[in-house]
Amino acid sequence: AQSVTQLDSHVSVSEGTPVLLRCNYSSSYSPSLFWYVQHPNKGLQLLLKYTSAATLVKGINGFEAEFKKSETSFHLTKPSAHMSDAAEYFCVVSDRVDYKLSFGAGTTVTVRA
């Protein structure tokens, strides 16, 4: 069975400061991990993915994440937040069992000017 825990329901940062969104996962198999962003009344957009290649993954808009198997974590970071980063972020895990993917509860990011 697979599951995801996003450790922060809400993160507030100032524009230009770093962003850290934390995600821990549980999986019986070698997982794939994804971060998605959702702006209000929009669909989910893929930021980045880990699929068993390099453990440090770079994504769009300056985001990156590091897969740490020993800590079962996949935290998302960005060195400098922009106002347009204000959105909902979901960490997602998938393993080999079937077509299901498990979503975390989401982290709401607000960016202060």
Partner 1 sequence: DTEVTQTPKHLVMGMTNKKSLKCEQHMGHRAMYWYKQKAKKPPELMFVYSYEKLSINESVPSRFSPECPNSSLLNLHLHALQPEDSALYLCASRGAVGARGELFFGEGSRLTVL
Residues within the interface to partner 1 (CB under 8 A): 29-32, 34, 36, 41-46, 49, 51-52, 88, 90, 92, 94-96, 98-101, 103-106, 108
Nearest distance from residue 94's CB to partner 1, in Å? 5
Residue 59's alpha-carbon distances to 28, 31, 70, in angstroms, are: 26, 18, 22
Q: Which is nearer to partner 1, 14 or 108 (CB)?
A: 108
Nearest distance from residue 24's CB to partner 1, in Å? 15
Residue whose C-alpha is closest to residue 71's, from 22, 32, 19, 20 = 22
Q: Which is nearer to partner 1, 66 or 88 (CB)?
A: 88
The secondary structure of residue 41, as a DSSP letter, is: T
d(Cα 5, Cα 35) in Å, to the nearest integer?
A: 13
Q: Which is nearer to partner 1, 17 or 105 (CB)?
A: 105
Q: Which is nearer to partner 1, 20 or 46 (CB)?
A: 46
